[in-house]
Structures are given as C-alpha cells and as structure tokens.
Structure 1
Amino acid sequence: MKQIALVFLALSFSLNTYAAWDLNDVSYVMPLQHQADGNVNTLPMKGLLPEKIFERISPIAMDMDPQTNARSMRVVAMRIDPCFPYPTQISCQKQLRLVWQPLLQWEEDNSIEAIDAALHSFYPLTDAEFDSLLQDLQAWKAKTGVETRGLPLGPHPAWNSGRGVASLKDLNRIILKYASEQKLSRVTAMFLRGGGAMWLFGAFEFKNGELITMTLPRLGKNTAQSFVNVVTSGETFSGGGIAGPRANGEDTLTNLVAESQRVRVKNEDLIRTELAAAYKIENPKHYNPENMDCVSCHVAQTARLWVDRKRTDIATQDIANQFGYQNAAYNMANVSEEPWHTQQLRALGYHNKKISIAQRAINESAEVADAINRYLAK
C-alpha cells in the first residue's frame, strides 16, 4: 500500500510540475510526409480500427473498393478529452480520439494527398489511463525539445524539429499504448460522394465487435445527414445545401448554405440570425457533439466567413462579441489555408494537400486545455 501511495504521489508531482497545456498539447495534427522508401509514417488501421468496417458501411471515399479504402486510411490527427459529454450514466468520459483520412501518394513527385472524407474513432480511458497518457505526452514533448505555448493549432512543431520522423514514431507508440480495436467505442464518418460535391454523415457505436447505427442529434430518428455544394470555386453555396434531413430546433443555417446568391443583397435580419447561429454552433459553451447535428457543425465556419466576405455592408461585430467563443489564454488564430472555401467541411486534417482546421476544433481544444490545466492544478 505504501509503495502504491508513493507511485501516486510521484505521478501527481510529475504532472503538476510540467508547463501549462496549450492547443497543440491536446490536439495533434500529423504531417503529410513519407519515408525515403515511400511508406507513409502515420498509423494505418491495423490494431486500431477493424478493416471489415468497410464491409459494414460503404467506403468513405469515392471510387474505392473496401480493401483499397482500408489500406489507404491513415491517422491525420489525434485529440484527447478529459470530459466528453457522453449521453449515458457516464456523462463525462475521458477519451483519446483519432481522425482518419484516405491518403494517396502520387508517383510523379512522391507527394501525399488526403481525400476529403474522414472517420473519427473514439477510445474511452479510465482515470488511471488518462493520467498515464498525460504523463507520456508531456515526456514526449520534453523529448522533442519544442515549445507549444502561444502557438495556433496546426501541424505539431515537433515535425519540424531535428527529431521530426522519430518524434512522430514515438507519438505513434503512445497512441498504440492507449488506443486499440478492443477499446473502440464509436466511429463517426464523413463520406464523399456526388463527384466531390456531396458529403454524407453518419455515426456508429461499436459493441461486441459489431457496428450499430446511431441516430444523429436534432434529426429525430434519422441516422444520416447530407450536404451538397457544387461550386468548386469556393466563393458561394449552390446546389442544395443541407439536403436532408434538416435540423430541428433553433440555430440553423438553412438559407446561407443553400443558394447564397439569394441572400447576396438585402435579407439583413435573416443573415444576422443565421450568423448568430454559426457563432453559437462553433462555441463549445453553447453546443457539443451530443446536441448539434453534423452538417451544421461542419458548415458553420464557411457560412460565417461567407458573410464576412460577401456582406461587408452588414455590421456584425456585435454578434461576434455576443455569441463568438473567446479565450485570451491561447492563440485562437486559424492557420487553415482556405478556411473560407465553401466546399471546406473538414474539422481537423487536410483538404487535398492543404491544412484544414475548423474554428470549432480550435475552440474545443482551448476548452480541453483549460480543463486539463484545472485538472492538474488540483
């Protein structure tokens, strides 16, 4: 008993003596890089996700059979969460989560490109496992020798250090220590269809080795939702918007993301209402993944930025001040290359070869960093 107490005290001391956690300490964006032999360094599905998943659900990428889709899937981001709002008796679940995309390697220049589809896998952790994970991540960070404080969320600075590839492999080992196919509890999916102009969303519980389709928040008994935008320039929304089903309740984006040319002039009251909804949807103090539908969450940023860019005649700062998420402790800048692009639905990962991070993911990361800093300060 005395030895156990000493181990606990040592763990508590080591966790509390580390520097404060920042955005890139809770959300990790992997690099799109490869080794000299052409192998991708990021983790494949083996041991983390059952490859038979694509026999149960359609391949998430167009023009891929299940086997090709499974082989191309790689981890592009990792997130940790001390309190995911689980809709069960366990209302606050500690987790490690992984974001997956199919990656293609081009023979011409050996470069890697991410397909605009994704899986998000959930791995619950016990209190002891989560404490151990925090300790391992801090030790990993100390080994990399990089500083994350004050940096915006983006590809981790460790990838550009002298230990870039080695650091990624070390992080992969940490992931494999805490995440496994046996611990998998949930998978959410964003499917790419319609010639690259339609995105479908779904969610699945993983129980006893089987995937069970889940209903989606705000959609009644519906288990899927879709979004259509045929404008490849990224300047407008057109072609259908939230194609079905539309969300119930307040804070919807029905008009802005359907045919945006309809609200290119006038309609100030409508625009201000939906802009307020976009800010609230992005704000984790207002909504979480258990009470907000998939499409609204994924298009809130582009809807908001369309108003900023196309309706400069409307003064909207009061809406941002009232409903936008604010946290002065962190650098909340968005480093995405084209966050305004109206076909940009990515939450955390890559849009082709370009980094793509939704403001919602940045805001959530700030909330998680705050929670961990409070947790370690106890």
Structure 2
Amino acid sequence: MSSSFSVLAFVALASVVACSSPSATSTSDESGAAQPDPITPSADGGTPDPVNPGDPGDLDLSDVSVLFPLSTTENRMWKASDEAAYGALLPPAILAKLPPLLPTRGGPPGSLDTLRVVAMRLDPCFPSIALAPDGCRAQVRLVLQLVSDGAKVSAEDAAVHVFYELPTSELDALVAQLLDLKKQAGVNSTRKPLGVHPALAAETNGGPFTDGLRKAVFARIGAARLVRVTTMSVVQAGFQWRFEGFEVSDAAKGTTSPIDIAKAGIASQEFVGSRPETILPAAATDDDIHGLFVGADGVRPAQADLDSGARAALRIENPKTRDVETTSCASCHAAGPALRRAENTFGVSVVDAPEAYQNADFDLSTPFAGTETNQIRAFGWFFTQPQVSARVVNDSAEVVSFLRARRKK
C-alpha cells in the first residue's frame, strides 16, 4: 500500500515534496470554530541586517537548510552521479525512474547530466517534530535542479527532492561538524534571514567550508540510504507544474513504489498558475486556498474569499499546525506565493492573524519568497534568483529549536 506525502518536503523541492497529521496546537480552521475579525491592510516589514563576518553565532536557520550559490563548478554544486560513502547520490536505476522534468514541446526536455544539488535540508524528526522522540526518522534531504552554464548560470524551474535516512546519532554528529565548520569560517548566521549559506557565499571559488561540507555530508549519505524521491516537473513553462514521487526500497535495483499525494489520494497533482488558477485535483479535506486565486476574468477576489484563503495559507505555512501528511503538494507550493501576492497587490494583511507561525528566536522574514503564482519553488533557484518559501523558513526554525534543545541535554 502506498504512503502519503505533500509538498512541504518538496521543499524542497525541496523541497520538492513530503507531508503528516496535524498537531494538537492547530488553531481555528474549517471545522466551524469561531473565526477572528477580517484581515486588514498594513505596512511592509523591515530590511534584514547584513552578515557580521566576525561572530560565528549559534546554530541557526542556514545551518539546517543550506542553499548553495548557483554554480556549475562540481565542488560548489554536487552532481547527481557523485559517489558518496553509501553509493551514488542518485544511482542510474533511480534516475531511470524519474519522470520528464521539462516539457518535450516548447523547449528541450533537458539532460539529467546537468542535475546539480542546489540545496540541502537536515530533518531530525521526519515526518513531524510533534512525533518526537519515538516517531522520529532522521534524514538528510537534497534538492536537485537542472543547471546550465550558457550566457549566465541558470537553474530550470523543475526539481528532484531526495531523502536519505540515517541514525539519529549520525545526524547529531553531522550538525556538530557543520557548526564547527561555520565557526572556523568566521561567519555569523544568527538571526539572519534564510538565503544562500554565508560561508558558501564567502568562498567564491571554493574553500575549507565548501570542501568540509561535502566531506561531512558525503560520509553519511548515498544510494544505500535513499528512501524517497519526489519531483516537481514542468508541464507548461511558467504556469503549470506536476508533483509526484516514490518510495525507494532498493536503489541499486530501482525497486520503488508510488506515493499518494497527501489529502488527494492519487499519485500526482498539478498546479495551474494561469487564469483561472487552480489545483488539479483539489483535495476535499485540504486547507482551501482557492480564495486567493484569480479567476478567468482576472478580477480581484472578494474580500471574504481573500480572508479565508489567507488563513488557510497561514495554516499551511505553520509547521505547528500542518505537516507533510496533512497538506497536498500543490497547496503547499502555491500557498505562499498566492498569499504574498494578496498582501502586495490586494491589500491583505496577516500581521496579527492567529494562524501565523511565531518564533521570536529567529528572523522569519522572507526576502527570497515567491510573490506571484508563477514562482512556486519552495527551496532552490528560480532561474537566476534564490527562492526560499515561508514554509521552509518556518520549518527550519522548528528544526533549529528542536536541535538546540537536544544539544543542551
């Protein structure tokens, strides 16, 4: 029987995809409980501070969600075929199972030889920190995109998200090693917005941190530990994407089984970002963000629909109320950009909305989040621009809080 997943881990795509049951801290939602007053317009937030190169700081967002600088240099962006301690990152038998990442019409389908690791996430407790400690599965997750080096290095708007499971003790050792590498690099990521890792950004031609990161991660991953692969592929460039994935039982032999999309009950789901914007198929029990979508007429949605859709999007972005098995892939990827557009274009504000994720220990700003529904990448690169969704930022804050507490025990 196939398992379920959603885009929260797609986030990857990274995430490209992954999703789990709601925690006991869920706020009022579609259950019919009393709703707060309508959301009203307000001003934008502030500007993030620059990195202080002299203070190493503590474990922070970029230490558990690492965005790589865009490059075709192998030591800065790892290849899918690279060999690690437990085998190739993506062995040939698994590469052969990937769906077409780009459409065959309107452009070349793309060569898998150009798949590069653009981001990495550390997860001490998949599918949800709410399951700690007994239900935790420690994972390293990599996000790969097709990267070209034409006139300008660019990443195609499609991605592969791979999941490796490892013992908790090894993940903790990896975290400690990466924190030590950061301290040696002399960069400070404390209370900084999540973007390209500052130590990687500082080493423009590679260096001790770049090399140490690869060595530390490669010592713990590879085909023998590969358990899941999810994809976000382009159906029609710029406005339609497909989400799907499979569990891996034997990577060397290519033995896999399809994953059902969370809340949808089928193996694939699509988001259409052209008018009328929609999710195909929409899941009846999913948080309904359609109130944020623009119809065929291009008219601004009604205020009541915008308010309802905004609250649904905030629930999706909040790791305390939704996870990889309670939100469908398309909803997770589309929620953030649709909400940002509603804020920027339609005057919606979510400043004091009770559904919003809160964590005063981190900078939760999203300077690299998509602001239109043609920018639904969760974690990686949108051609030449970094893309980091609010959901990835919030997930990262929860992971760091969890790991900080565990490191103190």
- The TM-score by the shorter chain falls in which range? 0.7 to 0.9
Higher RCO by CA contacts (8 Å cutoff, separation 6 or greater) = 2
Which residue of structure 2 lines up, in the alignment, with residue 233 of structure 1? none
Contact 1:200 1:224 survives alignment (8 Å): yes
Which residue of structure 2 lines up, in the alignment, with residue 326 of structure 1? 358
Say whether residues 1:252 and 2:293 are aligned partners.
no
Which residue of structure 2 lines up, in the alignment, with residue 306 of structure 1? 341
| Pairwise CA distance, 1:132 | 1.6
The code of the aligned residue for 2:288 comes to: T
Distance 1:162 1:300 in 2: 34
Distance 2:230 2:205 in 1: 30
Which residue of structure 2 lines up, in the alignment, with residue 114 of structure 1? 155
Distance 1:90 1:258 in 2: 43
If each structure's helix is expressed as a fraction of its own residues, which one has the higher value?
1
Contact 2:370 2:376 survives alignment (8 Å): no
Say whether residues 1:208 and 2:230 are aligned partners.
no
The code of the aligned residue for 1:301 comes to: G
Deviates most, 73-82 or 89-98: 89-98
Say whether residues 1:20 and 2:64 are aligned partners.
no
- What pairs up with 1:351-366 in 2 under 5 angstroms? 351-366=382-397
The code of the aligned residue for 1:81 comes to: D
Say whether residues 1:346 and 2:377 are aligned partners.
yes
Alpha carbons of 1:164 and 1:81: their partners in 2 closer, same or farther (altered >3 Å)?
Answer: farther
Residue by residue, what CA displacement relative to the aligned partner does 1:311-331 show, whole Å, maximum 9, x if unpaired? Answer: 22x5x447x431111111011
| Pairwise CA distance, 1:259 | 1.8
Alpha carbons of 1:41 and 1:355: their partners in 2 closer, same or farther (altered >3 Å)?
Answer: same
- What pairs up with 1:60-139 in 2 under 5 angstroms? 60-63=101-104, 69-85=111-127, 91-106=135-150, 108=151, 111-139=152-180
The code of the aligned residue for 1:357 comes to: V
Alpha carbons of 1:375 and 1:180: their partners in 2 closer, same or farther (altered >3 Å)?
Answer: same
2:232 alignment partner, one of 167, 190, 193: 190
Report the secondary structure of 1:117's partner residue: strand
**TM-score scaled by length of structure 2:** 0.77
Deviates most, 274-283 or 119-128: 119-128
Identity of aligned residues (%): 30
Which residue of structure 2 lines up, in the alignment, with residue 43 of structure 1? 78
Unaligned runs of 5+ in 1: 1-17, 231-237
Alpha carbons of 1:149 and 1:49: their partners in 2 closer, same or farther (altered >3 Å)?
Answer: same
Which residue of structure 1 lines up, in the alignment, with residue 403 of structure 2? 372
Deviates most, 49-58 or 205-214: 49-58
| Pairwise CA distance, 1:269 | 1.8
| Pairwise CA distance, 1:74 | 0.6
| Pairwise CA distance, 1:258 | 5.0
| Pairwise CA distance, 1:207 | 0.7
Distance 2:365 2:290 in 1: 27
Residue by residue, what CA displacement relative to the aligned partner does 1:3-26 show, whole Å, maximum 9, x if unpaired? Answer: xxxxxxxxxxxxxxx953111111
The alignment of Structure 1 onto Structure 2 pairs a total of residues equal to 339
Query: Computing the radius of gyration over CA atoms, which structure comes out larger, 1 or 2?
Result: 1
Which residue of structure 2 lines up, in the alignment, with residue 178 of structure 1? 220
**TM-score scaled by length of structure 1:** 0.83
Which residue of structure 2 lines up, in the alignment, with residue 12 of structure 1? none
The code of the aligned residue for 2:65 comes to: S
CA RMSD, Structure 1 to Structure 2 (Å): 2.4
Deviates most, 322-331 or 170-179: 170-179
The code of the aligned residue for 1:335 comes to: P
Residue by residue, what CA displacement relative to the aligned partner does 1:298-352 show, whole Å, maximum 9, x if unpaired? Answer: 011111112212322x5x447x43111111101111121x621220110101000
Residue by residue, what CA displacement relative to the aligned partner does 1:273-313 show, whole Å, maximum 9, x if unpaired? Answer: 1110001100001101121100000011111112212322x
Contact 2:286 2:328 survives alignment (8 Å): no
Alpha carbons of 1:271 and 1:193: their partners in 2 closer, same or farther (altered >3 Å)?
Answer: same
Distance 1:48 1:20 in 2: 29
Which residue of structure 1 lines up, in the alignment, with residue 278 of structure 2? 241
The code of the aligned residue for 1:268 comes to: Q
